[in-house]
Amino acid sequence: MSSYVYTTIHDPAAGSFGGTNAWGINNNGQIVGYSQTNPDFANGFLYSGGTYTTLTYPAPNNFETFAFGINDAGQIVGWSDTIHGFLYNGGSFTTLDHRSGTFSTTPIGINNSGQIV
């Protein structure tokens, strides 16, 4: 029979208000997700080696950033309420928008080859 360890994850930025939602994990144990910090604001996060890093998409009027997927290289994909998708890599955000100009682009996963869905 397999044995498992259950670990509660709570982003300190959420304080006592909101929940912490884990959406993706890679083979290195790094976890991405978002935490609700008040009714109108959410931070994306990377949890790695016991440390939280807040991810906030750099755009005017951005109140919510959601991190959904991470690959083994640490590349993170997600969405912000500015309706843009993003790739976070090496400390920098790259905007991901569908070339057809659709209303919103929401990347939710990235594989180890860097292919994004």
Write down the pLDDT at residue 100.
72
Q: Is residue 14 scored above 90 in pLDDT?
A: no
User: In this predicted structure, what is the pLDDT of residue 82?
Assistant: 87
Extended beta strands in 1-117, E state: 20-25, 31-38, 41-48, 51-55, 65-70, 76-80, 85-89, 92-96
Instruction: With cut-offs at 50, 70 and 90, classify the pLDDT of residue 101.
Output: low
CATH code assigned to 12-96: 2.40.10
User: Residue range 76-101: average pLDDT?
Assistant: 90
pLDDT at 6: 82
pLDDT tens-digit map of 20-77 = 899 999 999 999 999 987 778 899 999 999 898 999 999 888 899 999 999 999 999 9
In three-state secondary structure terms, 59 is coil
Across the strands, what pairs with 94? 87
Instruction: Parse the chain into domains and list their residue ranges.
Output: 12-96
- Of the two residues 9 and 111, the one the predictor is more confident about is 111
% of the chain with per-residue pLDDT over 70: 96
Residue with tokens 């959410």: 42
Q: What is the pTM of this model?
A: 0.90
**Is 27 in contact with 72 (CB distance < 8 Å)?**
yes
Q: How many helices (H) and strands (E) does the chain have?
A: 0, 8
